[in-house]
Structures are given as C-alpha cells and as structure tokens.
Structure 1
C-alpha cells in the first residue's frame, strides 16, 4: 500500500520537489498576470515557456544549457512544462478559456498552499499518469507502483545504483551495453524519472571504468511524505 502523508504548507521538505515548485510558479504566474496565453494548438505561448525555463530551476535542464542550443523554445521542447500543463488541466486547477489558461477557484486557492497542492498534484502525477506517453520510448516496464515503491524504499534506503535497483526487479543480466538496455531505459523513464521529478528520489552521476554510473538516493521528502508497507524493514540511518 502507498500512503501520502499530509504535510503542512511550511514543511521544509517540500522544497525537494521540482514538480511542486514548477506548479506553484505556474499557478502564481497565472494569478498575478490574470492568465497565460495559449497558441492555436492550446500550448503555452513562448513568452511563458521562456519564463518557465528561466525560473523552474529544473534538474539537468538549466536555462543556460537550453538556450545555448535553442533561442526559441516551444512547450513540447520543455517536457516538464508540457506534462505539468496537462496535469493542471486534468486536475481542474486551470482551464482553457478564450485562448488563455486561467485558474479555477481551486487552482487559485492552492497557488498559496504548497502542502495541499502537493497532496493533489504528486500522487496523481506519480501513480496515475502514463509516463510512457512523454518518454523517448513507448515501452512500459512490467510491474506496478505498489511493488516498485516498496522495494525502492528498502533498496535505496542508504543509496544504490540504477543498475542494482533494476536488477532487484528484473535480474542481473540486463545492462546498458547489452540487449537489456531498452528494458532499463523504460524503467528509468517510467519509474525513476517520475519519482525524481516529484522530488522523492535524487540521482547523481559519476564515471567509473569508462562507464556512467547513476546513483539513486531517497530524498528527505520521500521519508516525510510516504508511508509504505516496507517501512518496518528499514534500518535506521547512521548519524555521523
């Protein structure tokens, strides 16, 4: 079972969530400006996309890096914003009206309530969204969130690697340099990346023996926001 705990609006661990931060910024921008302009295809106009790239502080997508290769960026070229736009509309925190994105009353209320917005946004984003729909690969990993998150809760408690985590579910024979790379890519795109975007996991990268190794750690937000069946199996973290 997966249970998200209720966090206060001032809880410091909420700062670990890129998706929550992006949602708050988007809702507050729409509130301050009255609306966000839409293109004919109902995507956010470039003026807001550029603002989002500069202000979201998205992991591995710095404004400097993105504008280095593209002076003009559309919504679909910044996947976190495209996904967030869909989620906000689906949750009815905003709506399209006369060529603009406008907040609903509920969206306006949650724009100033990070804890309540997290409770609305993150469980839906992680557990309900089809993450393969915006990933580079259409493949979906075999499994379900209840199993994935309870196993990750134990395996990543003191840190692990992406490959070791994948092996805990699907066996040791898969790796990025053999035929199993597609399964690993699907797992990374549909499980690890959403949890990282939600702020529940964080990944660090290093080069070891000519290979890039991804380390996976639970964030403080994971520990404060989640209640899982495997919590009783965890060993306490050592304080140095």
Structure 2
C-alpha cells in the first residue's frame, strides 16, 4: 500500500520537489499576469516557456545549458513544463479560454498553498500518469508502483545504484552499455525519473573506469511524505 501523508504548507521538505516548485511558479505567474498566452496548438507561448526555463531551476536542465544550443525553446522541448501543463489542466487548476491559460478558483487557492498543491498533484503524477507515453516508450514495464516503491524504500534507504535497482526488479544485471540498455532506459524514464521529478528521489552521476554509475538516494521528502508497507524493515539512520 502507498499512502501520501498530508504536509503543512510550510514544511521544509517540500522544497525538494522540482515539480511542485514549477507548479507553484506557473500558478503564481498566471495569477500575477492574469493569464498565460497559448499557441494555436494550446501550448504555452515561447515567452512563458523561456521564463519557465530561467526560473524553474530544473535539475539537469539549467537555463544556461538549454539556451546554449537553442535560442528559441518551445513547450515540447522543455518536457517538465509540457507535463506540468497537462497536470494543471487535468486536475482542473487551470483551463484554456480564448487562447489563454487561466486559473480556476481552486488553482488560485492552491497557488499559495504548497502542502495542499503537493497533495493534489504529486500522487496523481506518480501513480496515475502514463510515464511511458511522454517518455516516448512503446513498451510497458512489468511490475507496478506498489512493488517499485516498497522495494526502493528499502534498497535506496542508504543509497543504491540504478543498475542495482534494475537487477533487483528484473533479475539481470544491465547498464547503459549492455544489450539490455533499452530496458534500463525504460526503467529509468518510467520509474526513477518520475520519482526524481516529484522530489522523492535524487540521482547523482559518477564517471569512472570508462563507464558512468548512477547513484540513487531517497530525499527527506520521501521519508516525510510517504507511508509504505516496508517502512518497518528500514534500519535506523546513523548520525
């Protein structure tokens, strides 16, 4: 069983969630400016996309890096914003009206309530969204979130690696240089990345011996926001 705890709006661990930060900034921008202009395809216009790239402080997608190769960035070229736009519409925190994205009454309320916004968006994002679709993967991974999160809860409690987690779930050691790199990529994109975007996990990359190792850690937000069946198996953290 997976249970998300209710956190106070001023809970410090909420700061670990990139998706929550992006949602708050988007809602507050729309609130301040009255709306956000849309393209004919109902995507955010480039003016706001550029603002989001500069202000979201997204892990691995700094404004400097993104603008180094692209002077013009569309919504679909900044995947976190594309997913966030879908989430805000799906959860009815915003709506499209006459070429603009406007806040609903509930969206305006949650723009100043991080804890409540986390509860509204993050469980839905992690557990209900088809992550393979926006990650452009055709195949679906075997297992489900109840299994993935309860096992990760134990295996990553004192850090682990992406490859070790994959082997735990699927029985074969793989990395990005083996024949099973596609399965590894699907696992990374559809399981680890959503948890990282939600702020529950963090990944670090270490280069050495001609290969890259990806370490996986639980953030403080994982411990404060989640209640899982395997919590009783965790070892106390050493100080």
Question: What range describes the TM-score normalised by the shorter chain of this pair?
Answer: over 0.9
**Given the alignment of the two structures, is residue 19 of structure 1 paired with residue 15 of structure 2, yes or no?**
no
1:136: Cα distance to partner? Answer: 4.0
- Does the CA-based 8 Å contact 1:141-1:186 persist in structure 2? yes
CA distance in 2, matches of 1:73, 1:50: 7
Unaligned runs of 5+ in 2: none
1:173: Cα distance to partner? Answer: 3.5
Which residues in structure 2 correspond to 1:224-239 (within 5 Å)?
224-239=224-239
Aligned to 2:43: 43
How many residues end up aligned between the 2 structures? 239
- Please give the secondary structure, in 1, of the residue aligned with 2:207: strand
Unaligned runs of 5+ in 1: none
CA distance in 1, matches of 2:86, 2:105: 18
Question: TM-score normalized by structure 2?
Answer: 0.99
1:185: Cα distance to partner? Answer: 0.6
Aligned to 1:206: 206
1:133: Cα distance to partner? Answer: 1.1
Comparing 186-195 with 127-136, which one deviates more in the overlay? 127-136
- Please give the secondary structure, in 2, of the residue aligned with 1:73: coil
CA distance in 2, matches of 1:176, 1:85: 31
CA distance in 2, matches of 1:199, 1:173: 26
- Does the CA-based 8 Å contact 1:38-1:100 persist in structure 2? yes
- Please give the secondary structure, in 1, of the residue aligned with 2:101: strand
Aligned to 2:85: 85
CA distance in 2, matches of 1:163, 1:208: 15
- Does the CA-based 8 Å contact 2:163-2:173 persist in structure 1? no
Which residues in structure 2 correspond to 1:1-240 (within 5 Å)?
1-239=1-239
CA distance in 2, matches of 1:49, 1:175: 34
1:175: Cα distance to partner? Answer: 2.8
CA distance in 1, matches of 2:178, 2:213: 16
- Does the CA-based 8 Å contact 1:88-1:94 persist in structure 2? yes
- Does the CA-based 8 Å contact 1:140-1:187 persist in structure 2? no
**Structure 1 consecutive aligned stretches of length 4 or more whose deviation exceeds 3 Å:** none
CA distance in 1, matches of 2:178, 2:165: 17
What RMSD in Å do the two structures reach over aligned CA positions? 0.7
- Please give the secondary structure, in 2, of the residue aligned with 1:112: coil
